[in-house]
Structure 1
Amino acid sequence: MKTLGRRFASPWCRSLACVVAGALPVLAFPAPALWWWAWVALVPWLLLVRSEPAGRRAAYDGWCGGFGFMLAMHHWLLPNLHVFTFVLAALVGAVWAPWGWLVRRLLGGAPSRVRVAAALVVVPSGWLAIELVRSWQGLGGPWGVLGASQWQSAPALRVASVGGVWLISFLVVAVNVAVAVLVAVDRARVPAVAGLLASAAIGSAAWLWSPRPDISGQVRIAVVQPGVVAGAASADHRFDREEELTRKLAGRGADLVVWGESSVGFDLDDRPDTARRLAALARDTGAPILVNVDARRSDRPGIYKSSVLVGPDGPTGDRYDKMRLVPFGEYVPARSLLGWATSVGKAAGEDRRQGTRQVVMDVGGGLRVGPMVCFESAFPDMSRHLVQDGAEVLLAQSSTSTFQHTWAPAQHASLGALRAAETGRPMAHTTLTGVSAVYDANGARIGERLGTEVSAARLYEVPLVRGTTLYVRLGDWPLHGALLVLAVWGAAEAVRALRLRRNAPGPRVPPARTAHGSPARPGH
């Protein structure tokens, strides 16, 4: 490992190696879903960056790795955004440049034990700062947060109930740093082992002592997934298929029926016939139906994506308008500047309109649900706020039909496990064409998952729970802690640099000379 820098002496070879190394963690996410791989996946990237002799080049290695990570994580966008996918990956990947400099600063050369001990906290904090920045909706939102790769791990989901997906990310990066030190820095193995033990202790403490939800009842939620519907009148045909599947739920005691995103392509005020058909379905099944309307509104300008509750007498008036839209998929940021993306890919030709507030709906029988639409389920704060407002069940209505044969549907469905574990509330993820899944309050899947090849209606027995998790109570404290760590470390570095500058010896003054040119002696 000491010769790693020489093996990639060529700038082009090193850049390519960093791109590949940055892409490696994606194998921990669905579809491969090798969750265990995340705990060592960053090691090659860390070793490459620390071997750089200069901080500027290390920052460039961070950028290259970030580009590789973003491109691999969103490779399924290529058929839709084409070359613009590379542009987005390069722009967002740039946020890893400071992280590359940070890694080299703390782990470069022959780091002391003190520097390694600091790296075990500061480097993961730097990673969280990156995840915070790129979680902004305008940069694509928190899709592919490193901790989300652990959605299948029960211990990691317990950690999520304490500090959200952010605390998992912190621990994953800390373990990778410790492993990299064990591989490459012989003199600092003691703090590296201590870091591994500390990470294990945090996970064990979360498993043993974090509050567990108490079951308080049960609700029967039906998920309707019509599957792929082709044809010029696909919206009408899809509605017919959803209606057919929903009728099969009659007499089965459902408490709520959930359809996917864009399941209704008409505004119900403009189409009273459609509203009447939905009301008849609600009467037949004995349960209200939560549909998702993707249409131009009759009462205000623009196209909205809205969760609309329909009861036996028609729409109940409960409506949630999607707040966080998909960049380029549902709107084009700075359209006057980036509107050309519509000519090279399938970017939105017209911007959807945003809702202004989240809504908790009472669907009858005292059951309160919190709807989200599409990639809003990637935002931890949205589900947390819904639970704080009284939601007993979280619902995500999605489509992902555009990316039917890619990793995207499985990646999207996996987010439900994280949101359920974070909030201590069950969550149903319902799509048009798969993958649909339902999770209990611990993030464990309930019943079968509906894959992309399935067209069906399924009824799930969902346990209701009491109490709240530490994450709901405390919020995004790992992010705040990471920023504090970076601020303290930055201040310490500034003080250290100032002391070195003050203690540095001044310029040497040559001794005075006599008129004959010889050095002057005392007394002369």
Structure 2
Amino acid sequence: MNNGPPEQGRSEAVRTARMAEMNATVVEPSNPVVMPRTVDRSAHEIIASARTLKTQQRSRASGRPALGLSLLSAVLLWASFPPWNWSPLAWLAPVPLFLLVRLREPTRRMYLAAYLGGLAFNLPALQWLRLGDPAMYVAWWALSAYVAAYFPLQLWLSRVAVYRWSVPFVMAAPIVWVSLEFAKAHLLTGFAWYFLGHTQYRWLELIQISDVVGAYGISFIMAASAAALASLVPESWFARLRLLPPPADAAAQADLQTRVAEAVMPSRRWPVFAAVSLVALTLVYGFVRRGQANFTPGPRVALIQGNFVASLRIPPEDFGLQYNTHMRLTALAVREQPDLIVWPESMFRWPLTNAPAGLSEDELQKLAPRVPPDFWRDTSVRETLVQEAQKTGAAMIYGIECVDLQTDGKIQQANSAVMFRPETGMSGRYDKMHLVPFGEYLPFKKTLPWLQAFTPYPSDFGLHPGARPVVFEHRDWRMLPVICFEDTVPHLVRNFVAAGSGQGGEVDLLVNLSND
């Protein structure tokens, strides 16, 4: 009995009648000779092939194994970074994701599974964003949602390279990986955090080649090694992991190997040999470079860290506590007779103000009606910073907010580093150039003004980026300040050093001010 819907029954009847008609005999009226109707076998083969293809599409493997592999990559990658810092796991982290590239037939919802894997890594990795303010939870999720998209992008672009452009798998996967790291470092002002190569910061011999290829080169070596490992996984494992649809018959079972990309390789051995050789040559270079190092004595530097939460809203009554804590630590550091003392980012809580010279109180009030003129004329902050440098007998670099009144009445706020020397007072100021999205400026503020409602900032929020890098000089040393995560953006720091070296000599050291 046919329990299906009436339409289905009629369709089956029509198909049965047509098949019967094709197999029927034909009697010509003028010649009572029975002639069999011939059938075009090639047409039958085409129809059968189309039906087989449709059946295969309907019987795609479940997306759960793909989700499991994506989550495994996320967990391995997260464990490679602080707080766990199990950096050897980073060499294995891309392997599960790369296995999905080898699948000729994608599983169900494979790209969604990869995106969820990206979220599983980025949400815990970027959770520190929420510490600044309760409203920063939105920024945490927004940034995580954006960066998570690089997981499915890695998968999709690698598959396009392998199956559409016939690029060998062991070449396509690492090239796409590094290309996406490069893109992430530049798009939306750049977010160059959590590169694969960053996990190896303690393996000094390996990372010496960064002076030639940067962190991207380390990421490429690691991704190429992971791709070589992924190419070793036999086809039978894909069936065991249920990444392939169940074969319909013995012929389909024999066709198993064609459903897993062989990466257009004549052998699996040479990718492994190439990866091992690449790592070995990198280590040889590292040992040679470390043996050539001839460091000259530099300044004695004291780094002060009071370990206060980097919150957006600090009660004014806490300013004194934070100041006294850093001063107490500074006094302890003076015993070691440092040449330079560095405070963290924004840890001198009172702002350093600047206004056009020669303006009367009435003119200041007219330019900035909401700000008392005494705010611009107050010199107590500048005097305090000079006095502290004189007490320590060392140059001091402070993290501080600078507030500038422009001649057109605009008030610009900057996240700054200022240097004060005992002999000359203030000798340099650098304003942070590479601002943090959502933390220091609101992206798409003019295009999507409704985003303002999801932030803890007033309508006029937004720090002003600096115009250029600045070199601080003290005695015979030339120092280049960078603030917080600016030091994670490769092209930014490289341009800083190039610009600083063109201002009168080589840069001797980088000084990073951070409170993370």
Which TM class, normalised by the smaller chain length?
0.5 to 0.7
Contact preservation (8 Å) 2:430, 2:470? yes
Which residue does 1:100 correspond to in 2? Answer: 155
Q: Is 1:384 aligned to 2:494, yes or no?
A: yes
Counterparts of 2:451 and 2:137, CA distance in 1? 9
Letter in 1 for 2:403: R
Which of 82, 85, 91 pairs up with 1:33?
Answer: 85
Counterparts of 1:25 and 1:8, CA distance in 2? 28
Contact preservation (8 Å) 1:341, 1:347? no
Counterparts of 1:7 and 1:251, CA distance in 2? 74
Which residue does 1:501 correspond to in 2? Answer: none
Which residue does 1:276 correspond to in 2? Answer: 383
Which residue does 2:514 correspond to in 1? Answer: 398
Which residue does 1:172 correspond to in 2? Answer: 222
Cα distance change of structure 1 residues 139 and 218 upon mapping to structure 2, 3 Å threshold: closer
> What secondary structure does 2:336 align onto?
coil
Which residue does 1:237 correspond to in 2? Answer: 321
Shift of 1:115: 6.6
Which residue does 2:285 correspond to in 1? Answer: 206
Contact preservation (8 Å) 1:21, 1:42? yes
Shift of 1:165: 0.7
1:252-300 alpha-carbon deviations (Å, 9 max, x no partner): 3211111110022333344422222222221222111111221422456
Q: Is 1:288 aligned to 2:368, yes or no?
A: no
Letter in 2 for 1:218: G
Counterparts of 1:157 and 1:348, CA distance in 2? 43
Cα distance change of structure 1 residues 183 and 339 upon mapping to structure 2, 3 Å threshold: same
Cα distance change of structure 1 residues 232 and 395 upon mapping to structure 2, 3 Å threshold: same
Q: Is 1:190 aligned to 2:190, yes or no?
A: no
> What secondary structure does 2:273 align onto?
helix
Which residue does 1:462 correspond to in 2? Answer: none
> What secondary structure does 1:320 align onto?
strand
Larger Rg: 2
Which residue does 2:21 correspond to in 1? Answer: none
Q: Is 1:71 aligned to 2:123, yes or no?
A: yes
Contact preservation (8 Å) 1:275, 1:314? no
Letter in 1 for 2:284: A
Shift of 1:383: 2.9
Which of 463, 468, 472 pairs up with 1:357?
Answer: 468
Contact preservation (8 Å) 2:76, 2:92? no
Contact preservation (8 Å) 2:63, 2:110? no
Matches for 1:205-224 after TM superposition, within 5 Å: 205-210=284-289, 212-224=292-304
1:101-151 alpha-carbon deviations (Å, 9 max, x no partner): 24335668xx9xx978x3323321111110111112626510111110111
Counterparts of 2:477 and 2:452, CA distance in 1? 42
Contact preservation (8 Å) 1:92, 1:139? no
1:201-241 alpha-carbon deviations (Å, 9 max, x no partner): 33233224447431122320111112338854222332232
Q: Tell which deviates more after alignment, 150-159 or 267-276.
A: 267-276
Contact preservation (8 Å) 2:97, 2:155? no
Among the aligned pairs, what percent are the same residue?
26
1:21-54 alpha-carbon deviations (Å, 9 max, x no partner): 3343121111110110011111112123433504
Cα distance change of structure 1 residues 7 and 325 upon mapping to structure 2, 3 Å threshold: farther
Which of 195, 198, 210 pairs up with 1:148?
Answer: 198
Cα distance change of structure 1 residues 47 and 210 upon mapping to structure 2, 3 Å threshold: same
Structure 1: gaps (5+ residues): 401-524
Which residue does 1:373 correspond to in 2? Answer: 483
Counterparts of 2:288 and 2:156, CA distance in 1? 37
Structure 2: gaps (5+ residues): 1-56, 236-261, 354-375
Q: Is 1:119 aligned to 2:169, yes or no?
A: yes
Counterparts of 1:156 and 1:92, CA distance in 2? 27
Q: Is 1:89 aligned to 2:144, yes or no?
A: yes
Letter in 2 for 1:132: F
Contact preservation (8 Å) 1:359, 1:371? yes
Contact preservation (8 Å) 1:134, 1:141? yes
Counterparts of 2:110 and 2:161, CA distance in 1? 12
Counterparts of 1:223 and 1:141, CA distance in 2? 26
> What secondary structure does 2:208 align onto?
helix
Cα distance change of structure 1 residues 48 and 78 upon mapping to structure 2, 3 Å threshold: farther
Q: How many pairs were matched up? A: 390
Letter in 1 for 2:467: T
Counterparts of 1:387 and 1:336, CA distance in 2? 33
Counterparts of 2:59 and 2:93, CA distance in 1? 20
* Cα RMSD (Å): 3.3
Matches for 1:338-357 after TM superposition, within 5 Å: 338-341=448-451, 343-344=453-454, 346=456, 350-357=461-468
Contact preservation (8 Å) 1:61, 1:100? no
Counterparts of 1:127 and 1:279, CA distance in 2? 49
Cα distance change of structure 1 residues 283 and 134 upon mapping to structure 2, 3 Å threshold: same
Counterparts of 2:96 and 2:444, CA distance in 1? 37
Letter in 2 for 1:357: R
Which residue does 1:329 correspond to in 2? Answer: 439
Which residue does 1:228 correspond to in 2? Answer: 308
